[in-house]
Amino acid sequence: MIIRLLCFNWYDLLSRNRMKIEPWQPPQKPGEITESRLISAILDETFPIHSNLPGERELAELLGVTRPTLREALQRMERDGWLDIRHGKPTRVRDFWKEGNFGVSIALARHMHPLPSDYAVHLLEVRVLLCPTYTRQAVEHDGKKIAEFLTKADALDQKAESYSAFDWELHWRLTVSSGNPFFTHFINSVHGVYDLLGTQYFDHQETREHSTEFYRLLEPIAKESNGEEAKNLALRIMSESLALWKKLTGKV
């Protein structure tokens, strides 16, 4: 009877507090924790750019991990462009702004707060260059499917998070429908950065209205599979988005 009562009370407590419980996250592996600590140490200049890391034994002791765990983290960081592992020589911290790859961009979104003030501008500049091409290809290859997705824009609320999620999914769908996997790999690689910067970007009514215009104008063009018109529209809207963000942040 006591056991049943305890179980009932526990279930009742969970039911009443369900909305207060944060979703459980899988625990980080030792290698992931080690990598996270090293990236933080690089960003706070404990290990500045072009400096050498301590030897493997000393560094493992500093981080409180085994040497195999440390090696695993170092190898991933070399792959992403944080480190230069040289056999027989100290491991060098690379200039990750110039030598890093998309892995650095993802890590910066997780570890650097706030991000550099020009980071959103740089991402929007890249989008101006890429978006017209993958939008044209997507509309030519699969315009009706893109048009169908765009009908969901009418149901968007005015939350920055809602716009950011919808906008990222639209660009992801455009890259997939373009038929060029490199576009999709790029958009997947910057997903974390897009989430962070997107909520900042769409926190303004002007930017939400501007993107709504893009969704509205692109839908009929996509239905007609008019790739060239889609390309011109994407170029105009993406260029205006960049100019609008510069104006709102005083970076004109």
Q: Domain locations in the chain? A: 30-97, 119-248
CA quadruple 138, 220, 207, 149: dihedral sign: negative
pLDDT of 12 over the 50 cut: no
Structure confidence by residue, pLDDT tens digits, 130-161: 999 999 999 999 999 999 999 999 999 999 99
Residue 63: CA count within 13 A, CB half-sphere? 30
For residues 75 and 5, what is the distance between their CA atoms, to the nearest angstrom?
52
Structure confidence by residue, pLDDT tens digits, 180-196: 999 999 898 888 788 88
Level-2 CATH architecture, domain 119-248? Up-down Bundle (1.20)
Query: Average per-residue pLDDT in the chain?
Result: 87
For residues 120 and 47, what is the distance between their CA atoms, to the nearest angstrom?
26
For residues 120 and 122, what is the distance between their CA atoms, to the nearest angstrom?
5
Percent of the chain with pLDDT strictly greater than 90: 68
What's CA 15's distance to the chain center, in Å? 34
For residues 111 and 113, what is the distance between their CA atoms, to the nearest angstrom?
6
Find where tokens 């993406």 sit.
238
DSSP helix/strand/coil, 93: strand
pLDDT of 118 over the 60 cut: yes
Among 7-21, 106-120, 161-175, where is mean pLDDT lowest?
7-21
For residues 235 and 240, what is the distance between their CA atoms, to the nearest angstrom?
8
Task: Taking residues 115-120, report their average pLDDT.
Answer: 76
Q: Give, as one character, the DSSP assignment of residue 200.
A: H
At the topology level, CATH places domain 30-97 in Arc Repressor Mutant, subunit A (1.10.10)
pLDDT of 1 over the 80 cut: no
Taking Cα atoms as reference points, which of 67, 73, 64 lies closest to residue 55? 67
Find where tokens 């890590």 sit.
107
DSSP helix/strand/coil, 92: strand
Q: Which residues pair with 92 in a beta bridge?
A: 52, 84
Q: What is the pLDDT of residue 6?
A: 38
